[in-house]
Chain A
Amino acid sequence: MRLAFILGEIASGLRRNLSMVVSVILVTFVSLTFVGAAGILQLQINQMKGYWYDRVQVAIFLCGPGSSSAGCASGPVTPDQQKAIQALLDSPAVSQYISDYHYESQAEAYQHFKEQFANSPIVDSVTPDQLPSSFRINLKDPQKYQIISETFSSRPGVETVIDQRQLLEKLFSVMNGASVVAIVIAAVMIVCAILLIGTTIRLSAFSRRRETGIMRLVGASKLVIQLPFVLEGVIAAVIGAVLASATVWAVAKFFLGDVLAQQYPDTAFISPGQALMLSPLLVGLGVVLAGTSSMLTLRRYLKV
């Protein structure tokens, strides 16, 4: 009985305050969507880290015919130089950091290049000669890149040593920056949502002050008097959170899954299912926001 009564009170409150309720829904929707966007970016970063950190290598590029760096002043790498580098890789001083390595010849490099840029006209203007041969090294601990770089970059026949991880780090820092921006926008919107929920509850309490006055007098408990108001805010926030979850899912499905995945087939994007894992977080956040802000408001504006 009491439950039915409380539900009835909630329904009438939502109906009376419809425009305010809609605005609460929209504000929580927008703010939680930004939270969700930050979440997607973080998930994507983790996904790419997991995917790439196993694959990225330190590459020691050897001097080719067209190399112009200081180490290549004596021309393309000679077979002796190449053997010396390989010997150094096998020596215990260096090999303790290396899990494995392999040699990529100019022909192989050309092959990879053609695969990677299959759709690009640049393939036609590149010949195997222009691409350097290299040693591809997988490190046991990717943080030890500095040691490899110091050991090899001044060797004769070495053009340059590149840590592919550092290229990725740049990308990740851009993505991290984007997620910080999303969080900041989300924070501002959340403040809006809290204030708006407070105002809505206040209006609702004011328009029902006769009822609550009578409830107080006949001895209704604090819970029965306050719960309809709190739930009103919570329901609106949950609807907003569900809309935000749907948006996050749609972004993962249609933008990442259909558009970006086709453009970057070799990148692992998060799946819509993973994006959906954010939704309990969003709903929970919505409930906490609405619950606390309405309880704080009621403490001030609804005497029990």
Chain B
Amino acid sequence: MIRFDNVTMVYDKKARPALDSVSIEIERGEFAFLVGPSGSGKSTFLRLVLREDRATAGAVFVAGQNVAKLSSWRVPRLRRGIGVVFQDFRLLPQKTVFANVAFAMQVIGKNRSVIRETVPEVLKTVGLEGMGHRMPHELSGGEQQRVAIARAVVNRPGILLADEPTGNLDPTTSQGIMQVLDKINQNGTTVVMATHDDDIVNSMRKRVIELGAGRVLRDEAKALYTSMMPAVRPPRLGEPAEDRHSVSSPAGAGEEEI
């Protein structure tokens, strides 16, 4: 479904590449975590899949197409096959929950009756049944993220990219979000989730792709956040591996009241 062939991405010729000859293949229907510290290349990975950027070298294939070779008017079609969820939800504050989800269908020209039918179904899938009339500011952070997920999957994309979707949520709420993503994955959608949240990665036991300084450090099936084989990784300065284990509460916990 997603294949990277020796992909290198250079933003600034003087700095080290954001991605350095990365080769990864993610199969249809898979659930993969993308882990690694800030600057390790997770966001660049997602941007390349969405064709926000083109790789400096190598090829990115999404659903069998080399995205760099798509002409610009075909890019929207590529993006219709990919749903995206962000850490900061990105809902439209003046629109109701229903309208936020419906927006994703309106802009690609779905007709009204299809929208009226599909949106409540999707809201039910993400656990927001009957909340379509609420405004985003009336919802908790977890609920807002569910709306964002509903919007991302309402057009039934083959791929769902999630960029730190639990970054602003407390651990309990995060578990709820993960259940939603798992459910979507079980319906056949390929899910790629970039995250720092070790508890979640450890509890899910899915494939883990670890990036560091633009390289793939580890690619394990049914893995944990940290490798079981620490000897494989060279230790890095200023970032002892033990510290990252002890962080159990992600940033932004307790913001749910807002």
Binding site for B on A (CB under 8 A): 1-2, 5, 210-211, 213-222, 224-225, 304
Q: Are B109 and A218 in contact (CB under 8 A)?
A: no
A81 smallest CB distance to B (angstroms) = 86
The distance in angstroms between the C-alpha atoms of A175 and B235, with both chains bound, is 86
Interface string of B68-110 (1 = CB under 8 A from A): 0000110011111111100000101000000000011011111
Residues of A within 8 A of B107 (CB): 5, 214-215, 218, 220, 224-225
Residues of B within 8 A of A210 (CB): 90, 92
With beta carbons under 8 angstroms apart, the residue of B77, B106, B152 that contacts A5 is B106
B90 smallest CB distance to A (angstroms) = 6
Total interface residues on B, CB under 8 Å, equals 26
The distance in angstroms between the C-alpha atoms of A304 and B75, with both chains bound, is 9
Given A210-B90, A214-B103, A217-B84, A2-B109 contact (CB < 8 Å)? yes
Which A-chain residue is minimally distant from B85 (CB atoms)? A217
Q: Are B106 and A216 in contact (CB under 8 A)?
A: no
Which B-chain residue is minimally distant from A225 (CB atoms)? B107
Q: Are B73 and A218 in contact (CB under 8 A)?
A: no
Q: Are A219 and B111 in contact (CB under 8 A)?
A: no
B112 at the interface (CB under 8 A from A): yes
B155 at the interface (CB under 8 A from A): yes
B67 smallest CB distance to A (angstroms) = 13
B50 at the interface (CB under 8 A from A): yes
With beta carbons under 8 angstroms apart, the residue of B77, B79, B111 that contacts A217 is B79
B151 at the interface (CB under 8 A from A): yes
With beta carbons under 8 angstroms apart, the residue of B79, B83, B109 that contacts A224 is B109
Residues of A within 8 A of B111 (CB): 1
A265 smallest CB distance to B (angstroms) = 62
Q: Are B92 and A222 in contact (CB under 8 A)?
A: no
The distance in angstroms between the C-alpha atoms of A219 and B81, with both chains bound, is 8
Q: Are A218 and B92 in contact (CB under 8 A)?
A: no
The distance in angstroms between the C-alpha atoms of A218 and B90, with both chains bound, is 13
Given A210-B90, A211-B92, A222-B73 contact (CB < 8 Å)? yes
Q: Are B80 and A218 in contact (CB under 8 A)?
A: yes
The distance in angstroms between the C-alpha atoms of A213 and B107, with both chains bound, is 12
The distance in angstroms between the C-alpha atoms of A213 and B90, with both chains bound, is 9
Q: Are A219 and B92 in contact (CB under 8 A)?
A: no
Q: Are B110 and A1 in contact (CB under 8 A)?
A: yes
Residues of B within 8 A of A224 (CB): 107-109
Q: Are A214 and B109 in contact (CB under 8 A)?
A: no
With beta carbons under 8 angstroms apart, the residue of A213, A214, A219 that contacts B77 is A219
A2 smallest CB distance to B (angstroms) = 4
Q: Are B151 and A218 in contact (CB under 8 A)?
A: yes
The distance in angstroms between the C-alpha atoms of A238 and B155, with both chains bound, is 37
With beta carbons under 8 angstroms apart, the residue of A1, A222, A304 that contacts B106 is A1
Residues of A within 8 A of B83 (CB): 218
Q: Are A221 and B79 in contact (CB under 8 A)?
A: no
Q: Are A214 and B79 in contact (CB under 8 A)?
A: no
With beta carbons under 8 angstroms apart, the residue of B76, B151, B155 that contacts A221 is B76
Given A210-B90, A210-B92, A218-B108 contact (CB < 8 Å)? yes
The distance in angstroms between the C-alpha atoms of A225 and B79, with both chains bound, is 14
Residues of B within 8 A of A220 (CB): 76, 107-108
Residues of A within 8 A of B152 (CB): 218
With beta carbons under 8 angstroms apart, the residue of A1, A5, A211, A216 that contacts B79 is A216
The distance in angstroms between the C-alpha atoms of A218 and B150, with both chains bound, is 12
The distance in angstroms between the C-alpha atoms of A222 and B72, with both chains bound, is 9
- The listed residue with most B CB atoms (<10 A of its CB), out of A5, A210, A213, A225, is A5
Q: Are B84 and A219 in contact (CB under 8 A)?
A: no
A231 smallest CB distance to B (angstroms) = 16
The distance in angstroms between the C-alpha atoms of A5 and B112, with both chains bound, is 10
The distance in angstroms between the C-alpha atoms of A304 and B79, with both chains bound, is 12
Q: A-B pairs with the 4 shortest C-beta distances? A: A219-B80, A219-B79, A220-B107, A2-B109
The distance in angstroms between the C-alpha atoms of A210 and B109, with both chains bound, is 19
The distance in angstroms between the C-alpha atoms of A218 and B156, with both chains bound, is 11
Beyond the given A218-B83, A221-B73, A222-B72, could you list 11 further A-B residue pairs with CB under 8 A, ordered by the A residue number? A1-B112, A5-B107, A214-B90, A215-B107, A217-B84, A218-B79, A218-B107, A219-B78, A220-B76, A220-B108, A225-B107
- The listed residue with most A CB atoms (<10 A of its CB), out of B50, B107, B111, B155, is B107
